[in-house]
Structure 1
Amino acid sequence: MRKRFPSLSALSYGTHWPTGKRIAIVTSAVAVLLAIAAVVALLTGGGSRRQAPGAAAPTPTGSPSSTEAAPKPSSGTGSVPPPPQIAEPVAYAKAAAQMLWSYDTRNTSRDQQLVGMHAWMTGESAYADWISVSGQVPDPVLWSRMADQEQHATASVTEGHFPSAFKQALADDPSAITKAYIYVVTVNGKQQIAWKKGGGGAEERAVTLAVQCRPSHDCALAAIAPSVTQ
């Protein structure tokens, strides 16, 4: 049987979030509303890890970085695309999800991957949860094993939408969004994974993102929520 190797986004999909700042990243979308409690409950959802479907389940061991500091400048960003100039939250979230589900260890180092991903983040430190994003990247040892197998992945997005809890909270008080202009968006799609000697597989993907889109500014990624809402 052909050995399967791990997909990037399958690893630590939604690690446990501590209280305080990390929860505030998502709840800031409808801050100062009593309705936030319902949104937080749905978005934190116990912080359970999301594993890849059995069709491409990882076999190597290793933990992704859950405390990754902001990356230092690197020699380029490899295969990671630059953030697009998009001012609409759903469109930006779809582009961000596609970026997160795509990688190429054949021409991109782990440091380059992190630098490229960090470029998508909001520059407002009060709302940027880099740990939730960098936690998608395998640790250095596992990344090296993936590179040995020339593992790479492409992704396609099927749809993106505002979760019902977010829409309801926003409808209850439309002015709440004006504090941070952070929108919660759920994106669904598919990831195609391949490695040398013809190995490969496909996985369905879903992720909920917190995206900041201030008026007259391009959007930026704020955080990855630990669970997918409807």
Structure 2
Amino acid sequence: MQKRFPSLSPSSYGAGWPASKRIAIGASAVAVLLAIAVVVALLTGGGNGHRAPETAAPASTGSPSPSEAAPKPSSGSGAVPHPPQIAEPVGYATAAAKMLWSYDTRTTSRDQQLAGMRAWMTTETTYADWASVSGQVPDPVLWSRMADQDQHATAHVTEGHYPSAFKQALADDPSAITKAYIYVVTVNGKQQIAWKSGGGGAEERAVTLAVQCRPNHDCTLAAIAPSVTQ
């Protein structure tokens, strides 16, 4: 029987962290959009967020390595798709989620995976939380083990929507978004994983993304939120 290795799984990012760390990252990602109290309520969800099965948790080493902090442009992006030219938050978020849930260790190195994901990020460093995105990629040793088994995954997105807390915050203060134009979008779907000798399986996925969509510009990814909200 082929051994299955952990897959990229943004939906469980940060789920095991102390509450104080989850709140800090959530606040840094969207504090520019809403008051701190609203951000905490939105991104921590009072502990009621979804998470993927434990077997799908990403294998990360904590602090990003130098290559994660600054992927080499010359390394290419392998099978990672280029970011689409989409100016609508939900549409971009669903495309980004599909990208995050898809990978192919047969054709893509770990550095290429990181470089491809980095291309989706906002270039406005004030609002970009690259650590929340790069943290989804397994460490070099595990990526190598996954590659030994030809592990790869495809994704199907079923829907994307604005969480109710985000919609309520916008209704309470519509002008709040006009500083950074960061939107919070929850995406649901399914990830299909396969490896050598016909091994494979499918798992449900859910992730909340912070997406920046300035007027007259294509959207970009700002962060992966610590938990999923409704």
Identify whether the pair has TM-score above 0.5, normalized to the shorter chain: yes
How far 1:76 moved relative to its partner? 1.4
Distance 1:147 1:46, change over 3 A: farther
Paired AA for residue 66 in structure 1? G
Which runs of 5 or more structure 2 residues have no equivalent in the other structure? Answer: none
Alpha-carbon deviation of 1:72? Answer: 2.2
8 A Cα contact 1:11 1:138, kept in partner: no
Change (3 A) 1:120 1:204: same
Q: How has the CA–CA distance of structure 1 residues 163 and 22 changed in structure 2, closer, same or farther, with 3 Å as cutoff?
A: closer
Normalized against structure 2, the TM-score is what?
0.87
Q: Distance in 1 between matches of 2:11 and 2:227?
A: 14
Deviates most, 12-21 or 123-132: 12-21
Using the TM superposition, give the Cα deviation of residue 203 of structure 1 relative to its aligned residue in structure 2, in angstroms: 0.5
Which deviates the most, 180-189 or 13-22?
A: 13-22
What is the match of residue 218 of structure 1? Answer: 218
Q: Using structure 1 for the length normalisation, give the TM-score.
A: 0.87
Residue identity over aligned pairs, in percent, reads: 76
| Aligned counterpart, 1:109 | 109
The alpha carbon displacement at 1:45 in A equals: 4.8
Task: Note if contact 2:189-2:205 (Cα within 8 Å) is conserved in structure 1.
Answer: yes
| More divergent stretch after superposition (145-154 vs 15-24) | 15-24
**Contact 1:193/1:201, CA 8 A, preserved across alignment:** yes
Match of 2:159 in 1: 159
Q: What CA distance in whole angstroms lies between the structure 2 residues aligned with 1:228 and 1:154?
A: 21
| Displacement after TM superposition at 1:97 (Å) | 0.2
Q: Deviation at 1:89?
A: 0.2
Conserved 8 A contact 2:10-2:207: no
> Which of 38, 63, 67 lines up with 1:67 in the alignment?
63
Distance (Å, rounded) in 1 between the aligned partners of 2:70 and 2:22: 18
**Kindly tell me: are residues 147 and 88 of structure 1, through their superposed partners in 2, closer, same or farther at Cα, counting changes over 3 Å?**
same
Contact 1:29 1:184 in 2 (8 A): no
Which residue is equivalent to 2:31? 27
Q: Name the SS for the 1:8 alignment partner.
A: coil
CA distance in 1, matches of 2:127, 2:23: 14
CA distance in 2, matches of 1:142, 1:172: 45
| Counterpart for residue 98 of structure 1 | 98
Gapped runs of 5+ residues in structure 1? Answer: none
Say which SS state the counterpart of residue 160 (structure 1) adopts: strand
1:162-216 Cα shifts (integer Å, max 9, x gaps): 0011000100110110010000000000000000001000000000000000000
CA distance in 1, matches of 2:39, 2:224: 14
Q: Which amino acid aligns with 1:25?
A: A
- Deviation of 1:3 after TM superposition, in Å, equals 2.6
Mark the CA change 1:81 to 1:153 in structure 2 (over 3 Å): closer, same or farther.
Answer: same
Q: CA deviation at 1:8?
A: 1.2
Cα distance between partner residues in 1 of 2:211 and 2:81: 17
Q: Deviations over 1:40-98 (max 9, x none)?
A: 223135899986437xx269xx9414322132224310000000000000000000000
